Structure 1
Amino acid sequence: MDVHLNIPYTNDPTSPRQALDLFLPHGSSSASPLLVFIHGGAWRSESKEDFTQTLMPSLVRSTSLPLACLEYRLAPTSPHPAQALDSLSGLSLLTSPSLLPLENGSPRWDRNSIYLIGHSAGAFIALSLVLRPPKGSRLDGAVEREVRRAVKGVVCVDGIYDLPSLLEEYPAYDSFVNDAFGLEPSYLAQESPARWELVDEEGEGERELKILVLHSKEDELLSLRQPEMFVERFMARLEGKAGRGSVEVDFESLKDGHAQLLEREELPLAVGEWDINGVNVM
């Protein structure tokens, strides 16, 4: 496996968190979908370095697919939407030919076949890049059509999806929510992707978004309320939009706590068993 660390996705050399890592298994090619991991940390902690020696190689072993791990700026210094915009910049780089020199001039992944994996707040960020925000959202109009169309699917892992219901269930989480978003109820609702629409714009063609929702019943930080709410709302939006999307739900495969599940094999195995691009990757 070829590993390339700390690749900047902006032109600002003073911003070390605006970078990504690449893990390219031998045999990957221009036909290989690219997995992109977006870490959690409540918008204010964690780093891609936390997963370099653990989850990243496990995901590559289980899928045999190329993988990128995105870093982003943290709240409260950089509140929302900095995390989503940084992730978007990383995706813009990954869908362009700019990294061909690292691939020895021959593409090692399909620029038009990206699958996001988001854990916790990372699931929130990932969905913010593929669903349609309401007018007035800080992300309204931010995602280029080419990048959005390149993302074919999202794996949501023990995710946060709706901020108002999160604070209703866990009032003590107001600290990190305030750091990233403030606490204005209408703003929290507006910026929550569980309330957003499927992208269905003129010229989108038959784009289909696949979503896999994973959640451990042993998660001590997030109950099933968040994923159940998101799945219910997403499925309601699928009605009348055949061919526009699909959602699969698995609340059984993952084991252990919110952070500990990232150190176990169940997550890489679940991703490896998922149907990507119509072909099981195992």
Structure 2
Amino acid sequence: MEDQNYDKHLWRKWSREELDYQYSPSRWCKQGSPEEVITHHVQWTAEESKKVREDIECELNISYGLADGQKMDIFSANTLPAEAPIFVFIHGGYWQAMSKDDYSYVARPLTKAGAVTILMEYTLAPKANIETIVSEVQQGMKYILNMAKHRQSRGVYLCGHSAGGQLAAMMLSVDWMSECMASDSLIKGAIIISGVFDLRPLIPSPINDPLKMTETSAWENSPMKVMGEIIRHSKNRKIVLAVAEHDPKEFHRQTQQAFQALSEAGVSVDCVLSPGVDHFGIVEKLLYEDFHLTQMAVDMMNLNIAEIDKQMEKTAV
């Protein structure tokens, strides 16, 4: 976690090259070169996700808006009870890479536990800027919340990784009653994994080349900017902020900064370190039932995979 003596604004003194290093998770991985790590991640996620789409009942590429990228995949909505909780996963890739199709594997343990699982897509940069992306995801959440109300779901739970963590956190700041007549209590929790809570350090880095964020647009779309609204709407939510042991130091700092703001305001929040994994391993391990973040997600939704296993054993007998 963050060194208490670490200068929170040190990034303003860094060169473009240093910022690129500090915000390039693949350069902090212990499993190989940046190219090897990214290649493995892309191949592994694609293979595992294809298996899940073949194995689990799903509705693919459901449109939630007019843009081509505004699509979502919904797993087990037709096989689980209407009141089942809904788990929403928003992928990362610095708003310019990867897609929902790469993360279908997240649905395997969660649908087994009894959660309808939704993978959301959005238009990537450079076709869309950060304001448009946040707006699109907000449209997607309106669709999901209306679906949850129609099903009388027990609750909606958000999860985002990396850039998806920023998007999930921004959704916690929205007044959903004004947007779609949904109370704050319908979104019951969130797990933000290796999230970006302040986008301003990305402005001088090559990451911003396709996004073209300004100081104003980066700050306006930073969860730290809307932390007051997140706190106001999350008084009765459970929030988990997770970071990988081998994430860049800046991801640790930003996660700790967000945790401190939420905890000091009395929000129910945990800050979790995932030992022995990097920025990519932490999200890959969501495939596995025994991974601690998978277990936290299941527990947050008041589900129990062990009970499902027992029921399956009885049925088999």
Give the shorter-chain TM-score range.
0.7 to 0.9
Gapped runs of 5+ residues in structure 2? 1-55, 306-317
The amino acid across from 1:176 in the alignment is I
| CA deviation string 1:110-165 (max 9, x = no partner) | 1x6110010001111111111269xxxxxxx985452754211110011111123x
Higher helix share: 2
The answer for the alignment partner of 2:118 in structure 1 is 68
The answer for the alignment partner of 2:220 in structure 1 is 190
Tell me if 1:34 matches 2:65.
no
The amino acid across from 1:129 in the alignment is M
Higher strand share: 1
The amino acid across from 2:244 in the alignment is S
- Give 1:43 shift: 1.0
In structure 2, the residue corresponding to 1:73 is in which secondary structure? coil
The amino acid across from 2:296 in the alignment is E
The whole-number CA distance in structure 2 between the counterparts of 1:120 and 1:18 is: 19
The whole-number CA distance in structure 1 between the counterparts of 2:231 and 2:263 is: 15
Bigger CA radius of gyration:
2
Spell out structure 1 runs of 4+ moving beyond 6 A.
none
Tell me if 1:225 matches 2:253.
yes
Tell me if 1:151 matches 2:183.
no
The answer for the alignment partner of 1:264 in structure 2 is 285
Q: How does 1:207-218 map to 2 (within 5 A)?
A: 208-218=236-246
In structure 1, the residue corresponding to 2:128 is in which secondary structure? coil
Tell me if 1:120 matches 2:162.
yes
| CA deviation string 1:57-98 (max 9, x = no partner) | 24434x331100000011222102222222222222222259
The whole-number CA distance in structure 2 between the counterparts of 1:60 and 1:191 is: 31
The whole-number CA distance in structure 1 between the counterparts of 2:264 and 2:181 is: 24
Q: 1:71 to 1:251 in 2, by over 3 A?
A: same
The whole-number CA distance in structure 1 between the counterparts of 2:139 and 2:100 is: 16
CA RMSD of aligned residues (A): 3.3
The amino acid across from 1:271 in the alignment is T
The answer for the alignment partner of 2:206 in structure 1 is 175
Aligned length: 246
The whole-number CA distance in structure 2 between the counterparts of 1:18 and 1:66 is: 19
Aligned partner (choices 156, 160, 171) of residue 129 of structure 1: 171
In structure 2, the residue corresponding to 1:251 is in which secondary structure? strand
Q: 1:132 to 1:95 in 2, by over 3 A?
A: closer
The answer for the alignment partner of 1:3 in structure 2 is 58
The whole-number CA distance in structure 2 between the counterparts of 1:130 and 1:99 is: 18
The whole-number CA distance in structure 1 between the counterparts of 2:288 and 2:160 is: 12
Select between 144-153 and 209-218 the one with higher mean Cα deviation: 144-153
The whole-number CA distance in structure 2 between the counterparts of 1:199 and 1:192 is: 11
- Give 1:191 shift: 2.5
| CA deviation string 1:197-220 (max 9, x = no partner) | 14577xx7x961211111111225
The whole-number CA distance in structure 1 between the counterparts of 2:193 and 2:80 is: 25
Q: 1:230 to 1:177 in 2, by over 3 A?
A: farther
The answer for the alignment partner of 1:24 in structure 2 is 76
- TM-score calculated relative to the size of structure 1: 0.74
